[in-house]
Chains A and B, each alone.
Chain A
Amino acid sequence: MSTTVIPEMPGQEIPAQSRVNYLNASYGVKSWLLTTDHKRIALLYLGSITLMFFVGGFFAVLMRLHLIEPQGALVAPETYNKLFTMHGVIMVFFFLVPSIPATLGNFLVPMMIGARDLAFPRLNLLSWYIYVIGAAFTLYAVISGGVDTGWTFYTPYSSTFSHTSVIPTALGVFITGFSSILTGLNFVVTIHKMRAPGLTWFRLPLFIWAMYATSIIFILGTPVIAITIFLLGLERLLHIGIFDPAIGGDPILFQHMFWFYSHPAVYIMILPGMGVMSELITCFSRKRIFGYTFVAFSSLAIAIISFLVWGHHMFVTGQSIYAGLIFSVLSFLVAIPSAVKVFNWTATLYKGSISYDAPMLYALGFIGLFTMGGLTGLFLASLATDVHLNGTYFIVAHFHYIMVGGAVMAYLGGIHFWWPKITGRMYPDGWARFAALIIFVGFNLTFFPQFVLGYLGMPRRYAVYPSEFQVLNVMSSAGASILGIGYLIPLIYLLWSIRYGPIAGPNPWGAKGLEWETPSPPPTENFEEIPVVTEDAYDYANVGGSRV
Chain B
Amino acid sequence: MWEAPVSDMAVHAPHPPGFKHQFEDMDQQREADSLGMWVFLVTEIMFFGGLFATYIIYRALYLPAFETGSRLLNVKFGAVNTAVLIGSSLTMALAIHAAQAGKKKSEQVMYLVLTMILGAIFLFLKFNFEWRADYHEHLIPGFHFIIRPEWGAAGPHVPMFFLFYFFMTGLHAMHMIIGFGILATLTGMAHRGRFNSEYYAPLEVSGLYWHFVDIVWIFLFPLLYLIGGRFAIPGVH
Contact = CB atoms under 8 A, between A and B. Distances in A.
A238 B142 contact: yes
A26 B39 contact: no
B46 A223 contact: yes
Interface of A: prevailing SS: helix
B184 interface: no
A223 B46 CA distance: 6
A495 interface: no
A22 B4 CA distance: 8
Nearest to A36: B1
Nearest to B143: A238
B232 interface: no
B47 A117 contact: no
Contacts of A190: 32
Interface stretch (B20-28, B70-78, B130-138, B212-220): B20-28
Contacts of A220: 42-43, 46
Contact of B160 (A26, A221, A241): A241
Interface residues of B, number: 41
A528 B39 contact: no
Given A35-B4, A525-B10, A223 B22 contact: no
A352 B188 CA distance: 61
Contact of A231 (B3, B31, B54, B141): B54
A163 interface: no
B39 A188 contact: yes
A26 B5 contact: yes
B57 interface: yes
A165 to B, nearest CB: 20
Nearest to A35: B2
A488 interface: no
Given A20-B7, A121-B22, A528-B9, A242 B39 contact: no
B83 interface: no
Pairs of residues from A and B, 9 with the lowest C-beta to C-beta distance, nearest first = A223-B47, A238-B142, A117-B22, A227-B50, A223-B46, A34-B2, A193-B32, A25-B4, A224-B50
5 contacts: A116-B22, A117-B21, A224-B49, A234-B167, A253-B54
Interface of B: 1-7, 9-10, 21-24, 28, 31-32, 35-36, 39-40, 42-44, 46-47, 49-51, 54, 57-58, 61-62, 141-142, 156-157, 159-160, 163, 167
Given A185-B39, A227-B50, A248-B62, 11 more contacts: A119-B22, A120-B36, A185-B36, A189-B32, A189-B35, A219-B42, A226-B50, A238-B163, A240-B141, A242-B160, A525-B6
Interface of A: 20, 22, 25-26, 30-31, 34-37, 110, 115-122, 125, 181, 185-186, 188-190, 192-194, 219-224, 226-228, 230-231, 234, 237-242, 247-248, 250, 253, 257, 260, 523-525, 528, 530
